[in-house]
Amino acid sequence: MKIKLITAAIALTAWTAQASAIQVFDDGQDGVGTGLQSQLDLISVSPVAGVSSIDVNSDQLDDGLDSYWGITGSGGSVTTFIVEIAGQSGSNTFGIYDYADPTNYVELFDGSAAPGNGFSSQVTLSMLADGSIGLSGSDTGVDFASNQFGYYLGTANGPTYYSDSSLNQDDSDQMVAIQGNGVDTIQIPGFAPGVWTANEFVLAWEDSLYANSDKDFNDLVVMVESVLPVPEPGTLALLGLGLAGLGAARRRQKA
């Protein structure tokens, strides 16, 4: 029985990490080897130059774990532009929205943003105790109801896509989130190289509905740091049910 309990716990953990992984292709409308995996390979410096230890299909966060986020203890989070390979690159926008109200948002990058443009390729997001949102030291005049937020990709000729897939058409998952593992040293265009730590996440987007897209997730790729995902209530409930089931099985074993 003990072995069964351990097996169940392992299965529950695996479900939490991979239940809603979405397929990412490396060949798309932009050409062969232009997808997210190739983009991570391109910025990888070591242990093997040009080869990332991250696998974009097996190492992505579960959809239920990347919908909402919170800034860690510093109260500030840096967002860095990595790459944008999209026909709408000149008009796509990227930012955060209030967990309590998706129409309340702050834009981090506009259509003119591009990788390798020095300091303009990086912004610092700050959140004060009263909900005030700041960008690179300036008050945006926008207040959020709580310290939880989602990320969005705005498109000029289509809808806004949200990190919370339930807000998208057909519940479409438009964003892949990948956490650093402390192994790879990377160099984002225009910046000095550094270790991709567990405190940093790559967020990669499709700017058209996933079902109709080329699924290469290179339409907008950024890195965010000093943030942690906040699981959705439904994900926590399922996890709780799983743990409760393990507890019940253990009690039956003792009885």
The alpha carbon dihedral of 51, 57, 61, 63 has a sign of positive
Q: What backbone torsions phi and psi does residue 193 show, to the nearest 5 degrees?
A: -70, 155
Rounded distance, CA 60 to CA 76, Å?
Answer: 24
Cis peptide before 47 (omega within 30 of 0): yes
Residue 177 clears pLDDT 90, i.e. is over it = yes
DSSP 86-153: -TTTTT-EEEEEETTEEEEEEEEE-TT--TTSGGGGEEEEEE-TTSEEEETTEEEEEE-SSSEEEEEE
pLDDT, one tens digit per residue, over 62-118 is 988 999 999 999 999 999 999 999 777 778 999 999 999 999 999 999 988 888 888
Lowest mean pLDDT among 69-78, 164-173, 232-241: 232-241
- Confidence band for 179, pLDDT divided at 50, 70 and 90: very high
- Confidence band for 5, pLDDT divided at 50, 70 and 90: very low
Residue 161 clears pLDDT 50, i.e. is over it = yes
Residue 15 clears pLDDT 50, i.e. is over it = no
Average pLDDT over residues 20-28: 86
pLDDT, one tens digit per residue, over 204-236 is 999 999 999 999 999 999 999 999 999 875 444
Domain boundaries, the chain: 36-232
| DSSP-derived pairing of the beta strands 68-71 and 44-46 | unpaired
Asked if residue 74 lies in contact with residue 228, where contact means CB atoms within 8 angstroms, the answer is no
- Confidence band for 33, pLDDT divided at 50, 70 and 90: confident
Lowest mean pLDDT among 8-12, 117-121, 155-159: 8-12
Asked if residue 85 lies in contact with residue 221, where contact means CB atoms within 8 angstroms, the answer is no
Percent of the chain with pLDDT over 70: 83
Provide the whole-model pTM: 0.84
- Confidence band for 242, pLDDT divided at 50, 70 and 90: very low
Residue 4 clears pLDDT 60, i.e. is over it = no
Mean pLDDT of the chain: 86
Task: Check residue 115 and give its pLDDT.
Answer: 86
Rounded distance, CA 42 to CA 50, Å?
Answer: 5
**Strand order, beta sheet including 132-135:** 138-143, 132-135, 122-127, 76-83, 220-225, 200-205, 175-179
Nearest partner of 206 among 163, 166, 175, judged by Cα: 175
Asked if residue 160 lies in contact with residue 168, where contact means CB atoms within 8 angstroms, the answer is no
Average pLDDT over residues 36-60: 97
Rounded distance, CA 114 to CA 86, Å?
Answer: 12
